[in-house]
Amino acid sequence: MVAKIIDGKVVADRIRAEIASSVADYTEKTGYAPGLGVVLVGDDPASAMYVRMKRRACESVGMVSKAEILPASATQEEVENIVRQYNADPNIHGILVQLPMPDHIDEEAVLNLISIEKDVDGIHPINVGMLGMRGREPSFTPATPTGSMILIEETGVQIEGKQAVVVGRSNIVGLPISLMLMNANATVTTCHSRTKDLQGYLKNADIVVAAIGRAEFIKGEWLKEGAIVIDVGSNSVDDPTAKKGYRYVGDVEFESAKDVAGYITKVPGGVGPMTITILLQNTIKAAWNLIEA
């Protein structure tokens, strides 16, 4: 079979239109636009690019974004003070700390400072705990796994009762999407670097989420015929034919996987466009929460 492509761009655009409409309502009602506060420490070019993308995305839906960019030599105190300012700022509804931060900064301490009401990244431990626990609802769920779940739902295939395999167990993707799939009544196996017989698990998986950061690691012949394959990876590989000399590929070998999977996302154009979209969605939610509280 040839897999149907789950087009993250199309889904993201649809959700962004809804967000823009909600932002317009909010701005009309309150007289001010919802705001996202970003903290960036150091001059990593990729991080700087992500911050610019987030600013443009905010503007595209009518939100305000503010970025505090500190030098790599910034102290823990200076970074924490930015978070404290954002916590106290009534015009900032969501706070995003761009990771990774320089080695001398205690990331955990910075992240734990973010007010729960403004944790639009959904990675405060209390939000992760609530995400996992039955009968609890986190204030926010993290952007990439939430976007991935929406793409799975986009197929129309019922998740309940399905065998799901998550490859990777990071705090920002593998762990939370394992919990989300469990909440959706899938039977979830979380695989990682110490897993033996990954292929045995994949061969039975109706849903595969790949989030390991290894270029084209998962091959088509490892997959179950008809599986839903969500590729969270974004790895740059050399490509002399590309203008920049490199291109991005996922954690799944798309060319072989598309002939086996039932549904598959591409890289780029799959999960990527969803991530910033969910960040925007969480920020407008935070803004509404504030005035409805």
Q: Tokens for 231?
A: 């590729």
Beta carbons within 8 Å of 277's beta carbon, 6+ residues apart: 12, 15, 16, 19, 57, 143, 147
* Smallest distance, its own copies to C-beta of residue 20, A: 32
Q: Choose one: 52-60, 167-175, 223-231, 285-293; the region binding its own copies (CB under 8 A).
A: 167-175
The CB density around residue 213, as the number of other CB atoms within 10 Å, is 15
Active site residue 98: yes
Rounded CA separation 166/42 (Å): 32
- Name the CA radius of gyration of the chain, rounded: 19
Q: Does 194 bind its own copies (CB under 8 A)?
A: yes
Q: In the annotation, is 54 catalytic? A: yes
* C-beta closer to its own copies: residue 186 or 249: 186
Q: Which H helix or E strand runs over 213?
A: none
| Cβ nearer to its own copies, comparing 120 with 131 | 131
Quote the least distance from Cβ 103 to its own copies, whole Å.
14
Within 8 A by CB and 6+ apart from 102, the residues are 41, 42, 72, 74
Active site includes 281?
no
The binding track of 105-134 with respect to its own copies, each residue x by CB under 8 A or -, is: ---x---------------xxxxxxxxxxx
What mask, x for binding its own copies by CB under 8 A, covers residues 24 to 63?
----------------------------------------
**Shortest reach from residue 194's CB to its own copies, in Å:** 4
10: nearest Cα among 151, 170, 158, 157:
151
DSSP string for 137-180: --S---HHHHHHHHHHHHT----TT-EEEEE---TTTHHHHHHH
Choice between 129 and 226, CB closer to its own copies: 129
Binding site for its own copies (CB under 8 A): 108, 124-136, 160-161, 163, 169-171, 175, 179, 182, 185, 187-192, 194-197, 200-201, 204
- Would you name the residues annotated as active-site residues? 54, 98, 121
